[in-house]
Amino acid sequence: MHINAIPDHIAQACSDLTPVLIAGPTASGKSELALRIAETCGGVIINADALQVYTCWNVLTARPPADDLARAQHRLYGHVAHDQTYSVGTWLTEVKQASQINVRPIVVGGTGLYFRALTEGLAEIPSIPDSTRTMVWKMIEGDGLESAVSQLATDDAASIDTNNPARVARALEVFLSTGQSLKTWHKKTPPPLMPLKDVKAFCFDVETDWLNTRIKKRFDIMMELGALQEVEQNLEIWNETAPAFQAIGAPELRKYLQGDLDLDKARDLAVISTHQYAKRQRTWFRKRMQNWYKVQISP
C-alpha cells in the first residue's frame, strides 16, 4: 500500500505544529504516512523503532531509503554502533534533543516501549552492570527462558510479556542489580516529554491477512535489495546477545549462510518470525494505546 493522500481528518489534525506520533505494526505503512504529513504539513520525522537505530542494518530493518531521506528531515536512524549500549532512556534523551530544532516532531515506529516512555514518562533506573546483564543472558541461553522467568519479582512476572526474552532479561537484571522490581521503579516515573494531551497520536489498526501479505512481499523485496548480503557482512561482528542482532529475519538468514538451512526454508521462517513479531506489536497497541486515534486499513 502507498498512501498517496492523507485522509482529510488526519490532514486537518496535523495542520498546526502540534507533535505527531504514529505507531503501528511492522510493514503497515506508518512510515509512508509520516512522510506524507512531513511533506504536506511540515515536520521532522523521528525514528521510534529500536532496531532502525543501528548502523549495521539498513535493508533488513526497512530503514527509510535515500529517496525518502531526501524528501523530509529524518532523525535517529542508523546512528548507533552494533556494540553500543542503547536504552529507552538514551532514545528519549535524543528525541528531546531532536525536538529542539524549532520544527514539529513526527515520531514514527513500532516499538511500544519507546512510545510509552515518550507519553507516560520513564523511570530513572540506575545503570545495570555489564556483568549482571551477561549473567542473565547466559541463564536464558543455557537454562531456558522459564528459568529466568521463575526468578522475576512477583509483580514483574504478572505484568510483563514473559514470552519475550528481551523483556524478561530487562526485568530480571533490574531486580538482581537494584533489589527492586521493574514495576516498582516505574511507579517513580517523572512527567513525560510528550503527554498524550499535547500531541496528535495515531495508531495503525490493520487487518491481519492484509498485513501478512504485505510482510511476505516486503521480505522478498528486502532479499532483492540485498538483505542476505547485509547479514553476511555482519557475520564477523555477530553477537547473539546484543540487541542489534535481534533484527527480525537475521538469525534465519545467518543459518542459511552457515549451511544449517536452505534458502527457501530460511525465508519462510523469517516471514513467520515477522508475523509473530507483528502479532506481539498489535497486542501491545491494543492494550496500551486505547486512547490513540485508530487509523484503520484493510484490503
- How far, in Å, CA of 33 to CA of 2, rounded? 9
pLDDT for 123:
84
- How far, in Å, CA of 34 to CA of 11, rounded? 11
The amino acid present at 180, given as its one-letter code, is Q
pLDDT for 5:
57
Residues 97/68, Cβ–Cβ less than 8 Å: no
pLDDT for 1:
41
Q: By C-alpha distance, which of 38, 175, 202 is closest to 105?
A: 38
Element of type H or E holding 80: none
Burial class (CB in 10 A: 0-12, 13-18, 19+), 102: exposed
- Report the CATH fold assignment for 130-186: Histone, subunit A (1.10.20)
Architecture of domain 8-122+192-207+281-297: 3-Layer(aba) Sandwich (3.40)
pLDDT for 299:
60
pLDDT averaged over 10-residue windows placed end to end, the chain, 299 residues: 61 85 95 92 96 97 95 97 92 92 91 96 88 94 94 95 93 96 90 95 93 96 97 96 93 97 97 97 94 82
pLDDT per residue over 190-219, tens digit each? Answer: 899 999 999 999 999 989 999 999 999 999
* CATH topology agreement for domains 8-122+192-207+281-297 and 130-186: no
The amino acid present at 161, given as its one-letter code, is D
The helix/strand/coil state of 33 is helix
Domain boundaries, the chain: 8-122+192-207+281-297, 130-186, 225-277
pLDDT for 2:
47
pLDDT for 277:
96
Query: How far is the CA of 181 from the CAs of 53, 65, 143, 174, 190, in angstroms?
Result: 28, 40, 22, 7, 17
**b/e burial code for range 265-279 (CB count within 10 A of at least 16 → b):** ebbebbbebbbebbe
pLDDT for 13:
78
